[in-house]
């Protein structure tokens, strides 16, 4: 069973999400929170597989709550809810450690699929949306990481792993990456896994942020 904590300040939305998720044979909603502070408390107590996190909430917003959950070393993965797919808070959420995001008016199948993907350890960020996020926001965000090549973790990557990271950061799927670098999709998955381990990252979403913050790729690159 995939356990889920719902975090949203609107009770009616939580009710709708619960109805969809509890209707699945492999998903169970284990708790609900109305703000970021409650989310921290319940995440610590319940250790859900996935925290479905709203961004705009009173007391503590979803960005800060996500940052604190990730910093605590919790095994719970955060799936952020946003009103618009180009919401300026989405990239901030990914930078804070979220494993992906969903639009609040997503279809029930998209909600269920997103929860399952994140629970399985992948990132629920569609390649096309990733590209638009990069194009729209990354040029206006402060670069907080070290410049290209100075982070010792980068030196541990093989040339192929670095190549895969570059392609991934452009929002390309495993299939697209394989076609561009002439390797099988299954081999791409292996390289992605090794790259994430060496960089100490949890998923593809964090890898995209890492690549841009460390200058491995830059906005406007092909």
Could you give the domains of the chain? 2-124 (3.40.50.2300), 139-213 (1.10.10.10)
Question: What is the rounded CA–CA span in Å between residue 124 and residue 30?
Answer: 21
SS3 30: strand
* Res 208 pLDDT > 60: yes
pLDDT at 145: 47
Phi/psi zone of residue 159: left (φ > 0), alpha (ψ -120 to 50 degrees), beta?
A: alpha
Across 123-127, average pLDDT: 60
* Res 16 pLDDT > 60: yes
24: Cα separation from own chain's centroid: 22
Strand partners for 7:
33, 53
- DSSP designation for 150: -
How crowded is residue 107: how many other Cβ atoms within 10 Å of its Cβ? 10
Cβ atoms of 131 and 112 within 8 Å: the answer is: no
Q: Which of 47-61, 101-115, 144-158 has the highest mean pLDDT?
A: 47-61
Could you read off the pLDDT of 189-202 as tens digits, one per residue? 999 999 999 998 87
Question: What is the rounded CA–CA span in Å between residue 203 and residue 153?
Answer: 16
Could you read off the pLDDT of 67-99 as tens digits, one per residue? 999 999 899 999 988 876 555 677 778 778 888
Polymer length in residues for the chain = 222
Could you read off the pLDDT of 130-187 as tens digits, one per residue? 556 655 555 555 554 444 447 889 999 999 999 999 998 887 888 889 999 999 999 9
Q: What is the dihedral of CA 130, 135, 136, 141, to 10 degrees?
A: 90
């Amino acid at each position: 069973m995939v356990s889920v904590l719902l975090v949203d300040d609107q009770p009616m939305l939580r009710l709708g999400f619960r109805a969809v998720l509890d209707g699945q044979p492999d998903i169970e909603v284990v708790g609900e929170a109305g703000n970021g502070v409650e989310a921290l408390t319940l995440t610590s107590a319940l250790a859900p597989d996935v925290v479905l996190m709203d961004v705009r909430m009173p007391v503590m917003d979803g960005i800060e709550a996500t940052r604190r959950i990730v910093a605590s070393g919790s095994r719970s993965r955060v799936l952020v809810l946003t009103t618009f797919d180009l919401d300026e808070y989405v990239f901030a959420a990914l930078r804070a450690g979220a494993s992906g995001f969903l639009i609040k008016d997503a279809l029930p199948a998209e909600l269920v699929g997103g929860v399952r993907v994140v629970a399985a350890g992948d990132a629920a960020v569609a390649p096309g949306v990733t590209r638009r996020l990069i194009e729209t926001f990354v040029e206006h965000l402060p670069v907080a990481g070290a410049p290209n090549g100075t982070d010792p973790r980068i030196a541990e990557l093989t040339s192929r792993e670095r190549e895969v990271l570059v392609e991934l950061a452009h929002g390309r799927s495993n299939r697209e990456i394989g076609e561009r670098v002439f390797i099988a999709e299954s081999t791409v998955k292996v390289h992605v896994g090794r790259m994430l381990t060496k960089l100490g990252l949890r998923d593809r979403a964090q890898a995209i942020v890492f690549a841009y913050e460390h200058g491995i790729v830059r906005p406007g690159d092909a």
